Amino acid sequence: MLRNALLYLSNQPKVFAFVRNNKLAKSFANRFVAGETLATALPAVKALNQKGITASLDLLGESVTNEQEAREARDAYLEILDRIHAEGLDANVSVKLTAMGMDISEELCISIMQDVLGRAQQYDTFVRLDMESSAYTDNTLRLFEDRLYPSFKKNVGIVLQSYLYRTLEDVKRANELQARVRICKGAYK
């Protein structure tokens, strides 16, 4: 019940505005969100690196509605990868396929992800495909295994949600592929 309420609240613009503008709420969010811009996030990554901790950067947002938004998300990720490389940071990125156009066109999503993964390959860094709601699990895993992983084995991995009954089998499959996997609790209903 509490989980459902929190998931509902997380999608409300007024709640987002409250967290953004309330000092106490913002201090709780800052534990998970290093900054609202790349310029504010990079110093947090440097601080983590100085403690021997690797960071993962993610653009908050998903489910773009047109090709231009998907290409803008791609460009933002390319900039993040460029800055990580230029500043010599120990960090990678995490990407939601719906932000890369998966709901618009599979071919658009693959093309965009090949751009992002090509840059990661150029810099010898890593991109993790976030898992979204269970409605996207099959497609995300299929695109990962069939379209992205074969060409970018060193540079792409997958996130699996521990809440799903299927996850043990998905982990076994990822292990067979020798793919990098991150298990998360899962933030979706």
Active site residues: 130, 182
Distances (CA, A) of 114 to 27, 38, 111, 147, 148: 36, 22, 5, 9, 7
**Residue carrying structure tokens 């999608």:** 11
User: Would strands 127-129 and 156-161 be described as parallel, antiparallel, or unpaired?
Assistant: parallel
What is the number of other CB atoms lying within 10 angstroms of the CB of residue 166?
14
Distances (CA, A) of 184 to 131, 160, 164, 174, 181: 9, 6, 11, 15, 10
